[in-house]
Amino acid sequence: MNASIKIISARWVVPVVPRNTVLENHAVVVENGIIIDLLDTQSALEKYQSAEHINRESHALIPGLINAHTHAAMSLFRGIADDVPLMEWLEGHIWPAEAKWVNPDFMRDGAQLAIAEMLMSGTTCFNDMYFHSDTVARVAQDMGIRAFVGMIVLDFPSTWAANADEYFDKGMRVHDEVRALSRVNTTMAPHAPYTVSDASLATARTYADELQIPIHMHVHETADEVTSALETNGVRPLARLHQLGLLNPRMMAVHMTQLTDDEITLSAEQGIHVVHCPESNLKLASGQCPVADLLRAGTNVCLGTDSASSNNDLDMLGEMRTACLIAKTTANDARALPAWQALEMATINGATALNVQNEIGSLEIGKSADMVALDLNHLSTQPVYNPISQIVYSASREQISDVWIEGKARVSNKQLQNVDVQQILSNAALWGERLSNHD
């Protein structure tokens, strides 16, 4: 047997590219973590007779899911401030908790909890924005997941930095550190227009251009944000960002729930990427992103969960389903955002936003073997007329049996590999006790 080559076969292979394609009884052939062939299973077995064969005969095989907006370590805040609107949630609960509790140990344990949940949910890459990003980067590398860690920028102090200059200095150090990590990259992450000054935004744009990395930022999250910006600056936040030169193909604008027709057109013309977080928006009553209109205009739209403290899970299958349902009712059109397009948003569109579409996001020859197998032989997903529809509208993350990143099994037969789950759970419980027993 040639141990360096694996044949992973499935009842259905959904490569995402070409779009809305389902290949029946096909196999993905992997060598050294790279997809080297995609063909029907019988031909694969004949062509690669000495290869290891992994057969998932009742499964659908899809690309690894890309969670384009997270605050991973905030999983340790899951449930501490439910059922309140965004600014009350931030100012009255989250920011005080962060000031008291966030440190490298919190970040390590929170990131481990989040990454374990994401891997079990089929996420193979996440785009994070939070403090102590050096810690998150190391945890991600150790746990075998791909990550983009944000070099966060704020104009007020936190446990991470005292002022904008220190945020930039620490961010640059993180950027230099992650060069040694094979699965981790950086983004420039100014938090939001209302927390970052024009000068800091201009500096962020300069760094992003010089380093050729994405800009990851909350934009137009709520109506109050837009109203406040008009009172303070005389222009809407998107217009201000445009004036500062930030609306370009590096920009990943998160939430974007408050958009005029002209802003939708502008977003498409400038080539920005919109990160839709449907369940977080619903829970915080922040508004709804006009996904169908953005897609129709030609904007690249991807999906994120936001944090587990505002969602309250990191389940990208759930985000796809919710995104579809909201898009239909928002557009008053049952054809808006079909299942296959939601799967694109969770895979290739996220890769495109992060500028790694040539490496991940679809099952194509030459790309990394980042893949997820879902067992559709389940009471909730039978019979199967259209496997993509079943994945998006009916399947649950409990049906995910296997997750591979770079061809290496990170979840096998529903078990995390090389991860001490009990230790992660124990650490999370300890943090829960600390936060519960102190003001």
pLDDT at residue number 29: 98
pLDDT at residue number 58: 98
CA proximity to 368, closest of 49, 54, 30:
30
pLDDT at residue number 346: 99
Pairing of strands 251-255, 273-276: parallel
Angle, helix 198-211 to helix 164-178, in steps of 10 degrees? 20
**Tens digits of residue pLDDT in 176-234:** 999 999 999 999 999 999 999 999 999 999 999 999 999 999 999 999 999 999 999 99
CATH number of the structural domain 65-353: 3.20.20.140
CB 203 within 8 A of CB 211: no
Angle, helix 133-143 to helix 104-120, in steps of 10 degrees? 40
Q: Is a pLDDT exceeding 60 seen at residue 1?
A: no
Q: Look up tokens 């579809």; give the residue.
A: 324
DSSP calls for 208-275: HHHHT--EEEEES-SHHHHHHHHHHHSS-HHHHHHHTT--STTEEEEE--S--HHHHHHHHHHT-EEE
Q: Which residues pair with 425 in a beta bridge?
A: none
Whole-number percent of the chain with pLDDT over 70 = 99
Between CA 202 and CA 345 the distance in angstroms is 29
pLDDT at residue number 20: 98
pLDDT at residue number 438: 63
9: which residues sit within 8 A by CB, 6+ positions away?
A: 25, 26, 27, 28, 41, 44, 53, 54, 55, 56, 57
Q: Which residues pair with 128 in a beta bridge?
A: 70, 149
Q: Which residue has the higher pLDDT, 81 or 6?
A: 6
Query: How would you classify residue 258: left for phi > 0, otherwise alpha for psi between -120 and 50, otherwise beta?
Result: beta
Delimit the domains of the chain by residue range.
Answer: 2-63+363-406, 65-353
User: Which tokens belong to 230?
Assistant: 């008009």
179: which residues sit within 8 A by CB, 6+ positions away?
A: none
pLDDT at residue number 408: 98
| DSSP 8-class letter at 399 | G
pLDDT at residue number 2: 60
Q: Which segments of 81-121 does DSSP mark as H helices, in order?
A: 86-89, 95-101, 104-120
SS3 of residue 427 by DSSP = helix
| DSSP 8-class letter at 82 | -
Angle, helix 164-178 to helix 133-143, in steps of 10 degrees? 20
CB 354 within 8 A of CB 149: no
End-to-end CA distance of the chain: 60
Is the fold of 2-63+363-406 the same as that of 65-353? no
CA proximity to 121, closest of 370, 414, 435:
414
**Tens digits of residue pLDDT in 84-102:** 888 898 899 998 999 999 9
CB 173 within 8 A of CB 146: no
Between CA 347 and CA 269 the distance in angstroms is 23
Q: Is a pLDDT exceeding 70 seen at residue 30?
A: yes
Q: Is a pLDDT exceeding 80 seen at residue 54?
A: yes
Q: Look up tokens 């909350």; give the residue.
A: 218
CB 62 within 8 A of CB 75: no
Q: Look up tokens 């962060």; give the residue.
A: 98
CATH number of the structural domain 2-63+363-406: 2.30.40.10
Sign of the torsion formed by the C-alpha atoms of 433, 436, 437 and 439: positive
| DSSP 8-class letter at 368 | B
Q: Is a pLDDT exceeding 80 seen at residue 297?
A: yes
Mean pLDDT of the region 274-290: 96
**Tens digits of residue pLDDT in 325-352:** 999 999 999 999 999 999 999 999 999 9
Q: Look up tokens 């032989």; give the residue.
A: 377
Going by pLDDT thresholds of 50, 70 and 90, the confidence category of residue 417 is very high
Between CA 351 and CA 104 the distance in angstroms is 28
Task: Look at the pTM and tell me if it is higher than 0.85.
Answer: yes
Give the count of beta carbons closer than 10 Å to the beta carbon of residue 165.
Answer: 11
